[in-house]
Amino acid sequence: MRLLLLKRWDASWGFWSRYNRLRSMSDKRILIVGDGLAGTLVAWELLEQGVDFVVWGDGSPAASDVAAGMFNPVSFRRILPVWHAQEHLDSARTRYAACESHLGVKLWHDVALLRIFPDAAYAAQWDERIAEQHPVSAFIERCDDGNWHESISAPYGAGRIREAGWVDVQTLVKKSREFWQQRQAWSPTRWNIDDGLPEGFDAVVDCRGVGAKSDLLRYGLEVRPNQGEVLTLQVPSAVGVETVNNVTWAMPIAGGQVRIGSTYRWDFMEPTVLDASQSVLLDKANAARENKLFSRDQITEHRAGLRPASPDRRPLVGRVADAIPWYIVCNGWGTRGVLIGPRTAAWTIQSVLDASWEVPAEVRPNRFRTFTNN
């Protein structure tokens, strides 16, 4: 059924759009503002539901333009599954596969992740999680000593996560934008909340990332910009096929390219690169290797951006204020947009199409004490 809908839509945007207007359960026309990963995934969700939409973007810097695209269901700090790990993984696989077949590009890359243990206590905790069949044990394995690429140094051992990898966010966003553009469903237009509900639309879904900061603050909702940087290197020697994580990570991409990231700063709110970050990232990535593998002269790209984070690291989804029921927020994707994005976009659209549907309490705007509904 889904495939049939997509094919029909592809065949004739105009027809499909008019057809949907007549038949869709909502008969709504939605404006999505922001054309980064959030706006893109919300648009795909609407397309699948057969709802008419237009995407606006103003060309301001986007976190999605620089994201490394990594996904990993495990939080390494305390060795726990990330929030709703399995559900997010399942939704993400399905959504990105649908985008791949529709856009005709490869987006999803399965790349196992090797976690280098920092000390013996961490190794013991890892083993304990497996022995006690903790929920995280569904995602983690203990590696036998030396069962990793010869360049790697892991004196306290290492663990492996197989259900990890990366999604090519830049290709997804760029190709999707072209796709909407061809169908007159994208416009280079700036919007903010004082512009109100533009004529011809029934709702605005706000996917502006840090661009929504000041508007959301009016309702006591915080989007905290978290500055991050990532490097791409062209490396002459073999580095193995796994992402190596010793807090900093080095991820092989293709053709000898390696991506190294990321930095996290709360004290610097510009999406600009800092020269000092290169040494910080390279030194840390080299610490996980027997020899100094990575060097400045191999750097082919150094990118920076602002992650839109929320105070409790969960996304912000749903209607914000009774006075503007047409305004729906989809923000706060922080460091894990790739993994949590598809399911979060689905929740967002459910809240647009069904006013009686309750957004899960853990992502609802009114969970914050600072929230004010007027």
Q: Which amino acid is at 329?
A: V
b/e code 70-81 from CB counts within 10 Å (16+ = b): bbbbbebeebeb
CB burial class (10 A; 0-12, 13-18, 19+) of residue 11? Answer: exposed
Distances (CA, A) of 159 to 32, 123, 133, 195, 243: 41, 8, 15, 51, 12
Find out whether 21 and 44 touch, Cβ atoms under 8 Å.
no
SS3 242: coil
User: What is d(CA 262, CA 231) in angstroms, rounded to the nearest whole number?
Assistant: 8
User: What is d(CA 162, CA 267) in angstroms, rounded to the nearest whole number?
Assistant: 34
| CB nearer to ligand FAD: pick between 35 and 163 | 35
CB of 107 to ligand FAD, least distance (A): 13
| CB nearer to ligand FAD: pick between 248 and 335 | 335
Give residue for tokens 């690169």: 273
Give residue for tokens 């309750």: 358
User: What is d(CA 203, CA 197) in angstroms, rounded to the nearest whole number?
Assistant: 7
CB of 94 to ligand FAD, least distance (A): 17
**Paired strand residues for 322:** none
CB of 74 to ligand FAD, least distance (A): 14
* Triad 84, 61, 315: Cα angle to 5°: 20
Q: Which helix (H) or strand (E) holds 125?
A: helix 120-131
| CB nearer to ligand FAD: pick between 16 and 333 | 333
Q: Which residues bind ligand FAD (CB under 6 A)?
A: 33-39, 56-60, 62-64, 66-70, 190-192, 207-209, 211, 228-230, 261-262, 305, 307-308, 333-339
CB of 264 to ligand FAD, least distance (A): 9
| CB nearer to ligand FAD: pick between 157 and 332 | 332
| CB nearer to ligand FAD: pick between 142 and 162 | 162
| CB nearer to ligand FAD: pick between 20 and 244 | 244
CB of 7 to ligand FAD, least distance (A): 27
CB of 247 to ligand FAD, least distance (A): 14
CB of 259 to ligand FAD, least distance (A): 8
| CB nearer to ligand FAD: pick between 17 and 348 | 348
Distances (CA, A) of 60 to 12, 38, 138, 160: 31, 15, 40, 38
| CB nearer to ligand FAD: pick between 29 and 208 | 208
Give residue for tokens 């990321």: 262
| CB nearer to ligand FAD: pick between 36 and 157 | 36
DSSP-assigned letters across all residues of 298-336? GEEEEEEEEEEE-TTSS-EEEE--TT-TTEEEEE--GGG
CB of 39 to ligand FAD, least distance (A): 6
Token digits of residue 8 = 């029909």
CB of 337 to ligand FAD, least distance (A): 2
